[in-house]
Amino acid sequence: MSPSRFLASVKIHPNLVTLVGLLATLMVPVETLRQNWIPAGLWLLGAGFFDVLDGSLARNAGLQGPFGAFWDSTLDRVSEAFVFGGFLLYYGRHQDFSNLLLAFGVCILSLLVSYTRARAEGLGISCEVGILPRPGRVVLLALGLMSGLLSLALWTVGTLSLVTVIQRVHRVWSQT
């Protein structure tokens, strides 16, 4: 039995799973500040698992709805902010201002990837395009944390997020 089917059978609501994922994300900046790279990456992957699980659970339990979609999207942005907040605090503590600015810029781009899709969908335009949606960002950042290659992960996520934003802007432009 899949995890989502099991949770549906015991009447766990997908919105609760979304909240648990957010709470798991709180450990990412804690471990980042401690320079515990592998646990930080594992916490991020674990939180990402909950992000996938909540959608699957909503579908399997027949609990998809407007509020759940809103709740999931909103808490995903908060989770991203926690992760990047950990990077910002880490680089600030180490007075590494070039990487602090990098993390800040990548945070903005990461949020823009999600915003462009949400805004497009608000206009009635399907916008699930782009080379780096949220699951890819989570995996790349987790790998960067676990390997201790934070700057490389940030540069990669930043570059691919910029391309994704451009792809989404182009989609909306071409559809309008």
Burial of 30 (0-12, 13-18, 19+ CB in 10 A): middle
Element (H, E) at 79: helix 66-93
| 20: CB partners within 8 A, 6+ apart | 50
Catalytic residue (choose from 54, 72, 76, 96): 76
Would residue 96 show up in a list of annotated catalytic residues for this protein? no
Do 125 and 154 meet the contact criterion of CB atoms below 8 Å apart? no
Active site residue ranges: 76
